[in-house]
Structure 1
Amino acid sequence: MYLKYLYLISIGICSTAGLYRILNLTKQLKTVALLCVYTLLFEISVFLFKQEFGYQGNTLPQYNFFILVEFMFYAYFFKQIIKNVYLLKTINLFLFMFPVLWYIFSFYCFNILQWSSYAFVFGGTCIIFFSLIYCYEKLTSNETTSLLNEGEFWIAIGLILCYTCVVPYMGMFHYLTINYEQLAVKLKKLNLITNIIMYLLFAYAFLCKTIKTAKFSL
């Protein structure tokens, strides 16, 4: 349970950092900051219903709708920062097709009351791919700016670290919970840890310019 609290705290830190710097963030970072605030409100609402109000019902439909919003926001984020023309067309195609595929996966391949693992695996894999392409562009660029102060770069790193671990687990969620329940519980902890790391990296991404300014003013 303590990992769940740490997870909520990490999103809280990330959201606070994003709101604190919202007026000074680039348009693309504002996109992620707003998503983090939405994520915090969503996770707190689910947590309170379970812990404070004793709600024992199925929360998977809420999470199924959440991944639709989440992956659309991340794709839009990369659409603003990736320069490769062909990949931009791919992202535009993703933004058009993912809601359609999400609907098919969630209502036809699965029931909306079940975890839509196909939608998550597809969306998460695409986000990892977009993140890797952006990092490659950044690392091979002739620009002389320090990556330590590039918030977008740390967003991409956070997404790579998190979804590389989470996508395989959530893709096998149904199989693991039915056949290897204890393993599923252990992997869920890894899932929370990688999410905590991701949101802390997001917080750094929002604050890195401030940290730089404070450092040089000393």
Structure 2
Amino acid sequence: MSLLETMKSYRRAASWAVWPTDHAGRLTEEARFPVERAERDLIDTAMIVSLNPGTDRAVETEENTPDWGNFHSSARKHNDLFLARAFHGTSLWGAYMTDLHPEHAESDSRKVRALPEQIRSSVDSLIEQARLLANVDTIVCLGAKTFTGVNRHRDVIEKELQIPASSIRRVPHYSGAAARVHKNNADVYADVVATTLGLNRARV
């Protein structure tokens, strides 16, 4: 069974770290998820986790939302192409992507205040998704708030997934709110992510 088929029940809230490339393997700077050719690039060894979807994504419906559309918005304010630049040519290209709180649509992360039991429930959902993927050995958290929520339950993650707590990694968020880190420049963000995670970036 393909990974898209395995994870299809999450297709409205999740996606994969794959964006369109040209015949030479270069990013085309399109934000959409290339569902027609993505399968060959998908991997089951890593999860990339953000905090929650933005507000405009809350009004999307099943009719107008493409499968695996999260993290692939053409709206420049989302900076989704920063993610494309960060993971292109690295071992995380093709990784599964999801939100810790997919039900809480809010552009301002400061307003996302989940109760402890809600965070635990969200982490349990991450664990279930990781079990479906079957081979997850790395969880990359986008932003401090995501990392704090996930890492708070590192013991249960370590027990249930049989991976060390050190496999839960943190990188800066890609949104405009983190502009002091990435200077509103996708290449700067990609370099920060590569340095933080020790990734080798193939130059295409």
Larger strand percent: 2
Q: Who wins on radius of gyration, i.e. which is larger?
A: 1
Q: What is the TM-score normalised by the length of structure 2?
A: 0.29
* Higher helix proportion (structure 1 or 2): 1
The two structures have a TM-score, normalised by structure 1, of 0.28
